[in-house]
Amino acid sequence: MVSRLRAPLFAVIGLFCFDIAAALAHPHVWVTMRSEIVYGPDGAATGVRHSWTFDDMFSAFATQGMDTDKDGKLSRDELSGLAEVNVTSLKDYDFFTFAAADGRKAAFKAPVDYWLEHADNALTLHFTLPFDKPVKAARLDLEVYDPTYFVSFSLAEKEPAALVQAPSQCKLEVAKPASPDTTQSQRLSEAFFDQLEQGSTFGAQFANKITVTCP
């Protein structure tokens, strides 16, 4: 597990996985995502606004001891340090967010407006990824996935994606990936995943895809 612990979603995930990974096959963490593509007044896309909700098990582990005022609730202030750890760790993995404008890679700047909330026993990370340069394209493709499939992303059933202040002619489409079947899952051992490097593209087959066309 040593090699896999070098590629956490968060710094705390390494500790989390040390306890449970031996009993589980990949993935180890599950995220339900909603994404908004934000546009500026000139009709160019300026960034992507993510909301990622983590599974109950990871949420419980990550928030241990964080209710510092002992009121039975986790405030944004109490979670601010963890939010900082989240976005700092994600930077090394391109925030699991990959964009292309008319077929060419569109780069992102460092995230802004990031914060965590805790509701219904689940953590949700909110953050915005500004594009390095505003994007004007006939087609904008966005994919969210973990290349090593350590984390499983899935689009929310309701309102998984939206356009914010986009030109009226722009259209949005989403596509969910196929889940690995039982045979494929059994064939992919923990040892297989231990060999995957950061530059692996294995997880691309499980990418959640959002496409915007602006004719």
Task: Name the token pair of 201.
Answer: 């593209």
Q: What is the pTM of this model?
A: 0.82
Taking the domains of the chain in order of start, what are their residue ranges? Answer: 4-213
Local confidence band at 194 (pLDDT 50, 70, 90 cut-offs): low
**Residue with the larger pLDDT of the pair 198 and 150:** 150
Q: pLDDT digit string (tens) for 2-50?
A: 233 333 444 444 444 434 444 445 677 899 999 999 999 999 999 999 9
Q: pLDDT digit string (tens) for 86-142?
A: 888 888 889 999 999 999 999 999 999 999 999 999 999 999 999 999 999 999 999
Cross-strand partners of 50: 35, 127
Q: What is the mean pLDDT of the chain?
A: 83
Angle between helices 11-20 and 80-90 (to 10 degrees): 90
> How long is the chain?
215
The lowest-confidence range among 15-29, 56-70, 110-124, 160-174 is 15-29
**Residue with the larger pLDDT of the pair 95 and 148:** 95
User: How far apart are the C-alpha atoms of 117 and 120, rounded to whole Å?
Assistant: 10
